[in-house]
Amino acid sequence: MTDIVIYHNPACGTSRNVLDLIRNSGVEPHVIEYLKTPPSRTLLIEMIERAGMTPRDLLREKGTPFAELGLDDQALTGEALVDVMMEHPILINRPLVVTPLGVKLCRPSEVVLDILPDAQRGAFAKEDGEQVVDAAGQRVSDR
């Protein structure tokens, strides 16, 4: 059984699409609602590094206190940005997915296909109707 973890926000359509794509590969992932159970500081830093990102790359602006906290200040260090993400988990962009093949911020949702070890088991369309996977389990969208 493949071990997959998704840091999920059920109120986010992209996050719901990613969760459904993981399930379409035949895997029931560990779902962590990161607003209720944020990752530890050490784990967050590890995921950022494994994803080849910087803390700034993981910051979410929309629907967060990003502007109020002055997080557009480019002088803020990565350490300072991690501190603020730990204090305000809503600032962590989502969904973050961890699989044996890597860690990715899955925006757009079909990015998760790059790190799923198991093939899709059938057709999949996003909530908005965009077809991502055909009936044969093959990716149809261009990125």
Nearest to 102 by CA among 59, 35, 53, 36: 53
Residues carrying an active site annotation: 12
Question: Which residues neighbour 73 within 8 Å (Cβ) at sequence distance 6 or greater?
Answer: none
Residue 128: what residue type? Answer: D
Q: What is the CATH number of domain 1-34+94-143?
A: 3.40.30.10
Cβ burial, residue 97 (10 Å; 0-12/13-18/19+): buried
Largest CA distance in the chain: 49
Instruction: Give residue-wise pLDDT tens across range 114-130.
Output: 999 999 999 999 999 99
pTM of the model: 0.94
Question: Which residues neighbour 103 within 8 Å (Cβ) at sequence distance 6 or greater?
Answer: 47, 50, 51, 96, 97, 115
Instruction: Give residue-wise pLDDT tens across range 5-48.
Output: 999 999 999 999 999 999 999 999 999 999 999 999 999 999 99
CATH 3.40.30.10 in the chain: give the residue spans.
1-34+94-143, 41-93
- In this structure, which CATH number among 3.40.640.10, 3.40.30.10, 3.40.50.300, 1.10.4030.10 belongs to the domain 41-93? 3.40.30.10
CA distance 55 to 45: 8
